[in-house]
């Protein structure tokens, strides 16, 4: 008997010591003054303390809540080996219907194909010989794309350093992301919304680029002059040779309506109400007047005010027909300054990429050492063996030519290939700042999303709202605890005092477990703690009522205590175990908020079984072993 009592006493003392040790970082963190936090941050001591403290969820510390939609229609369209207007029309019609329907996209797509009597094998024939097999394959690809997107986003967020993010599926095309404690929301949106499609493609020859610019200029000029001039625009191209440097132009601000002709007004152009043109060239060469110097023949500089207007022109079908079919015009990812003017570069890049980011194995941020990039951030990347072979072949065959490094259809840099690169290592320069370089390295390491994603909902929860939730939640738990403590003492007197000791220990061990095992405390989690407080004394109520019955039956105090614990154990175990199983179900099927409730509930009930049965019994055993009681305060 004494051996068992000693073992239980040592176990309880060790658990209390462990709980105090586990909660010390939390106590230290939340008692630091603002000056102390600044000092700990500068010395690097704050992060280790935060990592060992109780983690607060999005609703308690503030942060960002984002819902993403994966563009499965675009993925399905990209899988087609034949691209034509019919496919584009059917995909778009199916997409529009999906936006107002709860049906799966593939079901809607199949209905449209059947309605128009189009066989699936016209576009996806290599994936099966029947509509059913092709649909099954496309469904697997869509499911895999969702799973891959989830994993890639999780990797990105983990590398970004967000504490306890929540990333999970919502339906068939949406992903819910919760980022607690995040401060730079724009940076977070850029991180999770970036497709991160990395491509290496050759720039078109400078002569071809010049002819393309001149051809576009002739079409735009002919359109401004009227239908009669369009016939002349179709004639041979006479290359322009008088494109002026940015410093030599005589800038003139005109309305977008004037640029596009009398039939279009500035209102049609949205926010771009004016552009800056070269006054001396505008009448004869309206498109070239929007541009500035050609620094190397492979790109042109466009004043930042003119980018929207140039995009509108390039979207016109007659202008698109001026661009070589094997190339497309892409903007640079960053702007550059000439004096007080800001410009963005426009490149003519081959459509067919020589290499893609799927071969990339690593990407790290470094500081440039050569003359051109000294002191500026750059991203060094490594390719796998197959990628290194392709890179070696491409670089060896194009020495002296320029290779565009493209991320999400924006040219990050376009270096000239100086020599053959056989080891599969390269670097991306021309990056704006260190923060952007870090973001780029993260998305490259995590990989490209298999399909485009768009943010369809975002909510920012400020830290003041989180603080208000903590205050209200803490008060609710405190009030609940006080009411239970008072009730137990009034109703059960001395026995109630013992139950309150167990209750205090229950809360201590519960919060310690949250800190030690890296669980996140949320507002529903606080509700779970409040519920646990009530259920903690419920077990003691069963035991005390049994002891009262045994005392009424004439048993001694020690015998009544023994019988009370023995007979109440089955009912206590049944009630707690079934509730714990319910908690498992809630955790497995629930969302993050429900999981927060389930975690605190399950931990609280496990701890409750220990405190209600072991701790209170140990206290009674110590009392009865030292004193001969003739009556019990119960």
What is the tens place of the pLDDT at every residue in 482-493? 888 898 888 888
Which residues, including other chains, have CB under 8 Å from residue 285's CB and lie 6 or more apart? Answer: 217, 221, 240
- HSE (CB half, 13 Å, CA atoms) of 82? 12
SS3 458: strand
Span 130-142, pLDDT tens digits: 888 888 988 888 8
Provide the pLDDT for residue 462: 67
Same domain (yes/no): 255, 170 = no
Cα separation, 367 vs 79, whole angstroms: 39
SS3 188: helix
Cα separation, 145 vs 139, whole angstroms: 10
- pLDDT band of 161, cuts 50, 70, 90: low
Provide the pLDDT for residue 24: 92
Provide the pLDDT for residue 242: 45
In a domain? residue 356: no
Provide the pLDDT for residue 159: 65
278-292, 298-312, 431-445: least confidently modelled range:
431-445
Provide the pLDDT for residue 164: 62
Span 167-197, pLDDT tens digits: 888 777 888 888 877 767 777 777 777 766 7
CB 381 within 8 Å of CB 397: no
Residue 267: pLDDT above 70? no
Contacts 24+ apart (CB under 8 A), 92-97: none
Q: How many domains does the chain have?
A: 3
Same domain (yes/no): 221, 172 = no
The Cβ of residue 549 has, within 10 Å, a number of other Cβ atoms equal to 14
* Residue after which a domain boundary falls, among 272, 294, 324: 324
CATH of the domain at 105: 3.30.70.3400
In a domain? residue 387: no
Range of the domain at 489: 2-58+463-626
Mean pLDDT of 501-518: 90
What DSSP letter does each residue of 39-73 carry, written as one string? HHHHHT-HHHHHHHSPEE-HHHH-EEEEEEEE-HH
In a domain? residue 253: yes
Same domain (yes/no): 136, 26 = no
Tell me, what DSSP letter sits at residue 248?
A: G
- pLDDT band of 266, cuts 50, 70, 90: very low
Span 410-436, pLDDT tens digits: 888 888 888 888 888 887 777 777 877
Phi, psi of 441 (to 5 degrees): -65, -35
Contacts 24+ apart (CB under 8 A), 513-518: 513/22, 513/603, 513/607, 514/54, 514/55, 514/599, 514/600, 514/603, 515/22, 515/23, 515/25, 515/26, 515/52, 515/53, 515/54, 516/18, 516/22, 518/55, 518/164
249-253, 315-319, 603-607: least confidently modelled range:
249-253
In a domain? residue 386: no
Same domain (yes/no): 35, 169 = no
Which residues, including other chains, have CB under 8 Å from residue 288's CB and lie 6 or more apart? Answer: 213, 214, 217, 240, 243, 278, 281
Same domain (yes/no): 291, 215 = yes
CATH of the domain at 527: 1.20.1640.10
Cα separation, 151 vs 155, whole angstroms: 6
CA 154, 382, 330 angle in degrees (round to 5)? 80
Q: Percent of the chain at pLDDT above 70? A: 87
Residue 270: pLDDT above 50? no
Q: Which residue has the higher pLDDT, 239 or 424?
A: 424
CB 550 within 8 Å of CB 558: no
Cα separation, 488 vs 611, whole angstroms: 16
Residue 599: pLDDT above 80? yes
Q: Which of 220, 317, 311, 315 is nearest to 259 (CA)?
A: 220
Cα separation, 538 vs 256, whole angstroms: 75
Cα separation, 239 vs 245, whole angstroms: 17
Write out the two tokens for 470: 């903590």
Residue whose entry in the numeric block shows the structure tokens 């005010």: 305
Provide the pLDDT for residue 203: 93
- HSE (CB half, 13 Å, CA atoms) of 368? 20
* Runs of H (alpha helix) within 517-631: 523-552, 557-589, 592-609, 616-626
* Runs of H (alpha helix) within 226-293: 227-233, 256-260
Cα separation, 97 vs 94, whole angstroms: 5
Same domain (yes/no): 92, 236 = no
Cα separation, 351 vs 587, whole angstroms: 48
Same domain (yes/no): 171, 264 = no
Q: Which residue has the higher pLDDT, 400 or 232?
A: 400
Tell me, what DSSP letter sits at residue 329?
A: E
* Residue after which a domain boundary falls, among 461, 491, 516: 461
Write out the two tokens for 104: 């799966």
In a domain? residue 428: no
Residue whose entry in the numeric block shows the structure tokens 């509108």: 312
Residue 264: pLDDT above 70? no
* Residue after which a domain boundary falls, among 286, 305, 324: 324
Residue 146: pLDDT above 80? yes
In a domain? residue 340: no
Same domain (yes/no): 184, 251 = no
Report the DSSP pairing between strands 410-413 and 403-407: antiparallel
Mean pLDDT of 224-252: 52
Same domain (yes/no): 37, 94 = no
Please return the burial class of 330, using the count of CB atoms within 10 Å of its CB with bins 0-12, 13-18 and 19+: buried
In a domain? residue 359: no
245-249, 435-439, 465-469: least confidently modelled range:
245-249
- pLDDT band of 243, cuts 50, 70, 90: very low
Provide the pLDDT for residue 14: 95
Residue 345: pLDDT above 70? yes
In a domain? residue 29: yes
Please return the burial class of 349, using the count of CB atoms within 10 Å of its CB with bins 0-12, 13-18 and 19+: buried
Highest mean pLDDT pick, 7-21, 54-68, 441-455, 608-622: 7-21
CB 95 within 8 Å of CB 87: no
- pLDDT band of 23, cuts 50, 70, 90: very high
Residue 349: pLDDT above 90? yes
Same domain (yes/no): 44, 84 = no
Tell me, what DSSP letter sits at residue 203?
A: B
Phi, psi of 117 (to 5 degrees): 55, 45
Point out which residues pair with 278 in neighbouring strands.
251
Same domain (yes/no): 109, 120 = yes
Span 279-297, pLDDT tens digits: 778 888 888 888 886 455 5
CA–CA distance from 335 to each of 142, 303, 436, 538, 580 (Å)?
A: 36, 9, 14, 67, 58
Cα separation, 190 vs 446, whole angstroms: 14
Cα separation, 310 vs 572, whole angstroms: 74
Same domain (yes/no): 49, 84 = no
Cα separation, 59 vs 462, whole angstroms: 9
Residue whose entry in the numeric block shows the structure tokens 């941020």: 365
Span 491-501, pLDDT tens digits: 888 888 998 99
Start-to-end C-alpha separation, the chain: 24
CB 213 within 8 Å of CB 301: no
Q: Which residue has the higher pLDDT, 524 or 268?
A: 524
CA–CA distance from 374 to each of 370, 378, 435 (Å)?
A: 5, 10, 17
Rg of the chain on CA atoms, in Å:
35
Give the chain's mean pLDDT: 82
The Cβ of residue 277 has, within 10 Å, a number of other Cβ atoms equal to 28
């Amino acid at each position: 008997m004494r051996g068992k009592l000693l073992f239980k006493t040592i176990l309880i003392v060790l658990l209390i010591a462990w709980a105090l040790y586990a909660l010390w970082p939390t106590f230290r963190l939340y008692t630091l003054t603002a000056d102390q936090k600044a000092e700990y941050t500068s010395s690097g001591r704050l992060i280790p303390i935060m990592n060992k403290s109780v983690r607060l969820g999005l609703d308690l510390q503030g942060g960002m809540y984002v819902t993403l939609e994966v563009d499965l229609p675009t993925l399905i369209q990209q899988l087609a080996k034949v691209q034509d207007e019919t496919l584009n029309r059917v995909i778009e019609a199916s997409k529009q219907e999906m936006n107002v329907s709860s049906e799966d996209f593939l079901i809607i797509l199949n209905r449209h194909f059947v309605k128009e009597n189009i066989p699936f094998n016209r576009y996806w024939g290599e994936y099966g010989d029947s509509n059913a097999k092709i649909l099954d394959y496309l469904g697997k690809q869509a499911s895999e794309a969702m799973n891959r997107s989830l994993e890639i986003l999780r990797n990105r967020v983990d590398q970004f350093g967000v504490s306890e993010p929540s990333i999970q599926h919502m339906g068939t095309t949406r992903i819910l992301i919760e980022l607690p404690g995040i401060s730079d929301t724009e940076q977070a949106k850029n991180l999770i919304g970036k497709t991160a499609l990395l491509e290496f493609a050759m720039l078109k020859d400078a002569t071809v680029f010049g002819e393309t610019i001149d051809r576009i200029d002739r079409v735009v000029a002919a359109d401004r002059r009227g239908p009669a001039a369009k016939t002349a625009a179709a004639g041979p191209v006479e290359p322009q040779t008088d494109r002026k440097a940015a410093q030599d132009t005589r800038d003139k601000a005109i309305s977008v309506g004037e640029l596009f002709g009398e039939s279009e007004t500035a209102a049609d152009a949205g926010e771009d109400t004016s552009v800056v043109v070269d006054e001396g060239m505008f009448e004869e060469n309206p498109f070239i007047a929007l541009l500035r110097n050609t620094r190397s023949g492979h790109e042109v500089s466009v004043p930042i005010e003119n980018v929207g207007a140039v995009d509108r022109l390039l979207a016109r079908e007659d202008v698109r027909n001026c661009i070589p079919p094997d190339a497309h015009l892409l903007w640079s990812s960053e702007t550059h300054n000439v004096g007080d003017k800001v410009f963005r570069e426009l490149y003519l890049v081959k459509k067919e990429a020589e290499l893609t980011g799927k071969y990339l194995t690593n990407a790290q941020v470094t500081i440039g050492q050569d003359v051109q990039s000294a002191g500026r951030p750059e991203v060094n990347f490594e390719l796998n063996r197959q990628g290194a072979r392709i890179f070696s072949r491409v670089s060896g065959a194009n020495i002296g030519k320029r290779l565009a490094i493209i991320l999400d259809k924006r040219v990050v840099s376009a270096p000239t290939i100086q020599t053959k690169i056989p080891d599969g290592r390269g670097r991306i320069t021309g990056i704006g700042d260190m923060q952007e370089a870090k973001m780029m390295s993260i998305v490259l390491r995590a990989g490209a999303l298999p399909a485009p994603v768009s943010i369809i909902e975002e909510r920012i929860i400020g830290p003041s709202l989180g603080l208000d939730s903590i205050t209200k939640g803490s008060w609710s738990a405190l009030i609940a605890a006080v009411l239970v403590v008072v009730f137990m003492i009034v109703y059960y007197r001395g026995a109630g005092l013992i139950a309150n000791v167990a209750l205090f220990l229950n809360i201590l061990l519960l919060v310690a477990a949250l800190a030690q095992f890296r669980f996140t405390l949320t507002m529903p989690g606080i509700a779970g703690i409040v519920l646990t407080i009530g259920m903690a004394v419920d077990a003691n109520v069963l035991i005390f009522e049994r002891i009262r019955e045994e005392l009424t039956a004439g048993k001694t105090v020690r015998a009544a205590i023994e019988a009370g614990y023995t007979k109440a154990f089955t009912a206590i175990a049944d009630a707690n175990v079934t509730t714990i199983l319910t908690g498992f179900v809630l955790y497995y099927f629930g969302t993050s908020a429900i999981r927060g409730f389930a975690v605190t509930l399950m931990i609280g009930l496990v701890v409750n079984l220990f405190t209600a049965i072991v701790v209170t019994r140990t206290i009674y055993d110590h009392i009865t072993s030292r004193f001969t009681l003739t009556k019990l305060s119960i």
